[in-house]
Amino acid sequence: MLKHILSLSPDALATDLSAAFPAYRAKQVLAWIYARFTTDPDSMTDLPTEVKEHLKQNYRLELPEVDARLLSKDGTIKYRLKLADACLIEMVMIPEVKKKTLCISSQVGCSRACAFCATGKAGLTRNLFPEEIIGQFILAARDLLPNRITNLVFMGMGEPLDNLDNVLFALRTLQAEKGLAFSPRRTTISTCGIAPGIRHLADSGIKTKLAVSLNSAESETRLKIMPIEKLYHLNELKQALLYFRRKTNFRITFEYILIPGVNMSYEDIRALSRFVNDISCKINFIPYNPTGVEGWSAPTKTQIDDFLQKATIIKQAVTLRKSRGADIQGACGQLAAQVNQTERLS
C-alpha cells in the first residue's frame, strides 16, 4: 500500500521528491499542499506532467470527503467527514469577528464515556491517522479562504491523548516552517484528564496549550460525570498538570460544564476554588447542552447568574463560554457523526 502524502513530514516529503526532481519542485508541491490547501496534482497548475504523475503513482493523495456541511444560524459550520474506510467524523468551524477557530477530531468515537458527551456514547472505533488529522485542517482552511484559521483546538471527537503519537505527528507538520507554521500559542489540546498522557505531552517538546475537561473538583461528583476519575484520580491529575506547567510554562484552561443539581452548588465552587488555587489557569464555564442524560437539563439564566455570583470566590480568571452551533448539534458534547439523510450534500 502506498504512503499517504500527508503521512510524511514536510521535510521527509521534500527529501523524497528531491531524489527524483530538482529541489524547487518539492517547494512547489509543499506550497500547493500547505499554502493553497490541495493534495490533488491536477490542481497544481505550475507542475509539469511528470511531477504530477510521480505524485499520483507514489502517494495516496485523498482527503476526507465532506459528507455534510451544516451552517448554524450563528455562523458555526459543522462538517461531517467520511474517511477512506467509510468511518464518519466531525469537525466544527467557529467564526468570530477576530478569530476563526477550527475544532478537529482525533479519533473515530471515543472510549472515555463522559456522561455529557454524545461521542462517548458510541464507544471507540479507531484512532485517526496523522493524514486524517492534517486533512481536516487542509479541508477547513480551503473552505475558509480568503480568511485564515486563527485557532486550532483538539476538542472534536475523541480523546487526543489516547492517540498522542498521531496527534503529535500532525502538530509537528502543522507547526513546521515548511508546513503551515501554525502558532503553538493558538493551538489547544483538550483532555478529559489522562494523567500519563499529560506528562508525555509535556515531555514531547511540542508546544501547545492544554485544556482539561474538569467538570467537578469533588471526586464523587466527577465520577458521575467522567469515568476517567476512577483511573486517574483528581490528585494524580493535579500532579500531572503541575508537571505540565513546570515543563512548558503554558497556562492551563479548565472546562467546567454547568449541570444543575449535579455540580453547581456552593460546595462545588469551594472544591473547585481549592483545586485550582495553586495552578496558573483560567476556567471556562459552559452551560450544559442536553445530550439525553436522564435527569440532566440545561441551566436557566437565573441558575447561571447565581452560580457566577458565588464563583467570585475563585481567584483565577473565569469566563462563561457562549455555546455555539447548538442548532446543528455542533456545540460542546454534541458531536456524534450520526447520518441523517436530509443533511447530506451530495
With respect to ligand SF4, which residue has the nearer C-beta, 60 or 121? 121
The whole-angstrom separation of Cα 133 and Cα 131 is 5
Catalytic residues, by residue number, are 90, 332
The whole-angstrom separation of Cα 313 and Cα 84 is 50
- Going by C-beta distance under 8 Å and a sequence separation of 6 or more, which residues neighbour residue 286? 255, 256, 257, 258, 320, 321, 323, 332
Site membership for ligand SF4, residue 179 (CB under 6 A): no
Site membership for ligand SF4, residue 222 (CB under 6 A): no
**Alpha-helical segments (H) within the chain:** 10-18, 23-34, 49-58, 118-122, 130-144, 164-175, 195-203, 219-225, 228-231, 234-248, 266-276, 301-310
Cα Rg of the chain, angstroms? 21
337 vs 91, 210, 236, 295, CA distance in Å? 9, 25, 32, 24
The whole-angstrom separation of Cα 165 and Cα 143 is 27
With respect to ligand SF4, which residue has the nearer C-beta, 113 or 320? 113
Site membership for ligand SF4, residue 192 (CB under 6 A): yes
Whether residue 104 contacts residue 91, with contact meaning beta carbons closer than 8 Å, is answered with: yes
With respect to ligand SF4, which residue has the nearer C-beta, 102 or 110? 110
With respect to ligand SF4, which residue has the nearer C-beta, 75 or 123? 123
Site membership for ligand SF4, residue 119 (CB under 6 A): yes
Task: Identify which range of 134-142, 144-152, 155-163, 202-210 contacts ligand SF4 by CB under 6 A.
Answer: 155-163
Counting DSSP H helices and E strands in the chain, the numbers are 12, 14
Give the residue from 143, 147, 142 showing the smallest Cα distance to 98: 147
**Alpha-helical segments (H) within 123-194:** 130-144, 164-175
The single residue among 81, 92, 93, 117 that binds ligand SF4, judged by CB under 6 A, is 117
Q: How far from each other are the two terminal CA atoms of the chain, in whole angstroms?
A: 29
The whole-angstrom separation of Cα 36 and Cα 141 is 9
Cβ 64 to ligand SF4, closest distance in Å?
18
Site membership for ligand SF4, residue 159 (CB under 6 A): yes
Task: Identify which range of 47-55, 117-125, 196-204, 260-268 contacts ligand SF4 by CB under 6 A.
Answer: 117-125
Site string for ligand SF4, 53-92 (x = CB under 6 A): ----------------------------------------
The single residue among 77, 102, 110, 171 that binds ligand SF4, judged by CB under 6 A, is 110
Cβ 154 to ligand SF4, closest distance in Å?
10
Cβ 186 to ligand SF4, closest distance in Å?
21
Site membership for ligand SF4, residue 120 (CB under 6 A): yes
Residue nearest ligand SF4 by beta-carbon distance: 120
Name which of residues 253 to 312 contact ligand SF4 (CB under 6 A): none
Site membership for ligand SF4, residue 112 (CB under 6 A): yes
| List of residues contacting ligand SF4 (CB under 6 A) | 110, 112-114, 117, 119-120, 157-159, 192, 213
